[in-house]
Amino acid sequence: MEKRLVGLSWKCSWVSQLGCLKGCLEYLGDISSMAWLFGITGYAFIINMHETVCPSSPTTWDGTPMSKLIENIGYVDEAIFGLLNQPDFYEKQVLSWEKIRRAIDEGFPCYGWELEIPEFYVINGYSENEYFFSGIEPSSLNNRRQWDEVGKTEIGVLEMHIIKPTNLVADIRKIVKDSLGFILKHSKSPPEWIFPKYKAGIEGFDYWINAIKENKANKFGMAYNTAVWNECRQYGVEFLRELKDKIDAKSSKLIDEAITNYETVSSNLKSLAQLFPFPPKDELDDLNLRDEAIKILESAKKAESNGLKSLEETLNSIN
């Protein structure tokens, strides 16, 4: 027996989780832009960085508070988590298999972690014993993964999400206040969200810069993180431009300041992405490129700091 949600697919994005979420929301009829999704979830303005610029940086933090933000735009994220080293892991696999199949039967889109490589994938169907999925590099498994193999990896994390509509949409002020509040708190590296050896916000830029200075930056992680955070800041600028048309005029000047600051961050990270393209070669072995990268990131860090201040002032201006 097979069941598929025809038309449900992953939307190409370096932030694979938001590519999944965008695909799920479009399937449910949402026409919001990708930039708006990046903004209201906060991803457009956050950074999370391992001390060696590990490629795990964009995904290794507690994203539960971020997932709750989509409730403001009329959706709920029902998540299931399990760890391979925990005694209830198999029970969580069974629970996921049962809930995902039921959700698909009811027409609700789903997504999950590491159905192939360590990224998120849309789950758009199932067979007798397999998930069907859509996402980055779904080649070796022919877009299928046996349900009791998910999570049995070196990382050992089972993470599944079911997206359902609620039709309870918050007003624009609450949407923006909740999102900006999350972004600003995340930037302070709260220990309940940010794991050891990682830092967020300006400290995240410091980790990035220091890793290059000390020649301990992971070359794969350097190219990957650059691509991810460059995408985030590009969408951040687009989000702010959309926001300016939706929010009251009192906040307009502050949003203009934020746009200017994040345009600088975006421009710097775009330049860095040109120096350290993905997939990487041996760019980090070049001392001149490392020096240039440090200069670029110092400029981006300064603009990011100013940008966060602009977002805080914008938040404070919204009644």
Place of tokens 């967020």: 200
254-309, pLDDT tens digit by residue?
999 999 999 999 999 999 999 999 999 999 999 999 999 999 999 999 999 999 99
Percentages helix, strand, coil for the chain (3-state, rounded to 5) are 55, 15, 30
How far, in Å, CA of 54 to CA of 217, rounded?
7
70-125, pLDDT tens digit by residue?
999 999 999 999 999 999 999 999 999 999 999 999 999 999 999 999 999 999 99
pLDDT of the residue at 318: 87
pTM given for the model? 0.95
pLDDT of the residue at 1: 79
How far, in Å, CA of 45 to CA of 66, rounded?
12
Read off the tokens for 275: 């120096």
C-alpha 48 chain-centroid distance: 10
Which residue type sits at 123? I
| Cβ–Cβ < 8 Å for 233, 265 | yes
Read off the tokens for 82: 């399990």
Read off the tokens for 211: 């890793």
| Cβ–Cβ < 8 Å for 75, 166 | yes
- Rounded mean pLDDT, 233-246: 95
| Cβ–Cβ < 8 Å for 21, 163 | yes
- Rounded mean pLDDT, 16-23: 98
Category of 151 on φ-ψ map: left (φ > 0), alpha (ψ -120 to 50) or beta: left
